Amino acid sequence: MDDMSSGDPIALFQDWLAEATAAEPNDPTAMCLATIDAAGRPSARMVLLKGVDLRGFAFYTNLDSRKGLEIAANPFAALCFHWKSLRRQVRVEGPVETVGDDEADRYFATRGRVSRLGAWASLQSRPLDSRATLEARLADMEARFDGQDVPRPPNWSGFRVIPQAIEFWNDGAHRLHDRIVFHRKGGGWETGRLYP
């Protein structure tokens, strides 16, 4: 895994993601997103990575969801990718920014129609008395947007985690794992190795 210390963690992540896409049977872009509320209490959930580039790691959600409200209160997050079939893990930590409206609109337009309607129908993270209520809200949105394009709701957008640290973990025999960590330093990255 000496190639891991080559200096570009985004390129390395993209290589690992391509390998995971070929090897993982389900959701190679699944990542655990950890956020912290205003009182300092953490929460974690699985979300899907929808873009990665030099700016960071992007995902999309309802801004009024629990994660959206926690990011608004404390705009820092941690991500963890675990590719069991490859016996690899990547951890990312850093501040969070909201993606631009144009970027959010472009991604929203790629979603299936029912998913776009669902973004309007769901009061994400709020109590729901029954499945029938959600289905009725979806039917209302189908009627509202009948014959029309479904625009992005105003409370739905994306977030980007701007990596300040990225750690690559590769399973090793006898629990002697290989770990390389990249820390952002100025315009570049400082690389180090960690004990397993």
Q: Which residues are catalytic?
A: 175
What b-and-e string marks burial along 56-85, b requiring 16 or more CB atoms within 10 Å of the CB? bbbbbbbbebbbbbbbeebbbbbbbbbbee
83, 75 Cβ separation under 8 angstroms:
no
Contact 151, 75 (CB under 8 A): no
Question: Tokens 């990249």 correspond to what residue?
Answer: 182
